[in-house]
Amino acid sequence: MVTKLLNMVEEISSCPAPAGWSAACKWALALLLVGLAACSGGGPPEAPELARVDEKSITLQDFLSRAAFMGLGNDPAILTPELRKAVLHDLVRRELVLAEGARRGIELNEQELARQEQDVRRGLSDEDFKKTLAGHGINYNQWRREMGREGLMEKILNLVVLPRVRISPEDVQQYYQQHQDEYRRPEQILAQHALLPNRKLAQKLVDRVAAGQDMGQAAAELGAPLAEGERPAWLSRGHMPPVLENKVFGLKSGQLAGPLPSPYGFHVVRVMGKRPATMLTLEQASSRIRRELATQRQEDLAAAWLEEMLSKATVWYHTQFIDTGRLEQAGSN
């Protein structure tokens, strides 16, 4: 570097000077230009590199954004080596998928990104959402960038892998035969259920419903909205204390029970329908089985595709960072 700078000085000083310029002026100009070049360093300093996949660098900032997006905070030192390696490995796989997506011309448009954000935010205001993100150590711009990359990766995997998924009628039948216990529907009741803090309020609710008032309206007026909202829900055994459950499942359709004490308060339950335990037929279960098999096959194919790309890629990891969470020295894997 020193030799290169001296050569620059010599080259500039040997050029013809404008009229009236002294040799000292030429030397001053040469030294000024060289000094500027040395200070610039050819551009901004590079971010610390934690991994590399082919020609793509994965930096400390990439790691911090990804870890925060995954809910792991933004301090690598508090993570275990296994978690640090997992985050870097996730970033390596993502870069491979994004590179393949770019090669195929697959992009995520603004409308798709906006839909993703809306699904995640679930009506939270800008202020509340940003506070939530800050609590996880990530700002809104970082989060949206990570979400966009995540959405694009999912889109690429769907477009590349999903067309390869094939589910035959024989696959469905075999799965059904091997997992019949999953398609046994237990005895169920269709019920409205309210939980009140004391017996007096529970009895008021029973009296109002018995007199013909809508149970949802009556419960809301007493400050105890129905557990499932306005719509009744099908319930199986295992969701209530056994004593309460036996009482409720012994009711006939249309009957009301309460107040029923439990450690949680006093319950009022109205049974609106019943259906016995039954076994779903292959025809009834086939659409559910197809969805389950398709999801499983897609995950298996995606994992195999990623492993294939990894086997062809050149990957390097900063092993000391993985081991310690610090960057004093570089290592390789």
- Measured CA to CA, the distance from residue 149 to residue 312 in angstroms comes to 22
What is the reported pLDDT for 228?
66
Start-end of CATH 3.10.50.40 domains in the chain: 187-276
Q: Model-level pTM?
A: 0.58
3-state DSSP assignment of residue 101: helix
User: CA torsion 319→324→329→332, rounded to 10°?
Assistant: 0
Higher-pLDDT residue of 155 and 25 is 155
CATH number of 187-276: 3.10.50.40
- Give me the phi and psi of 253, to 5 degrees please: -60, 130
With a cut of 70, say whether residue 125 has pLDDT above it: yes
Start-end of CATH 1.10.4030.10 domains in the chain: 49-163+309-324
With a cut of 90, say whether residue 96 has pLDDT above it: yes
- The mean per-residue pLDDT over the stretch 273-280 comes to 87
User: Going by C-beta distance under 8 Å and a sequence separation of 6 or more, which residues neighbour residue 49?
Assistant: 57, 58, 59, 318, 330
With a cut of 80, say whether residue 234 has pLDDT above it: yes
For the 49-163+309-324 domain, the top CATH level (class) is mainly alpha
Task: Write the pLDDT tens digit of every residue in 295-316.
Answer: 999 999 999 999 999 999 999 9
Location of structure tokens 């589910």: 167
- The mean per-residue pLDDT over the stretch 197-220 comes to 90
What's the pLDDT band for 42 if we cut at 50, 70, 90? very low
- Measured CA to CA, the distance from residue 78 to residue 94 in angstroms comes to 24
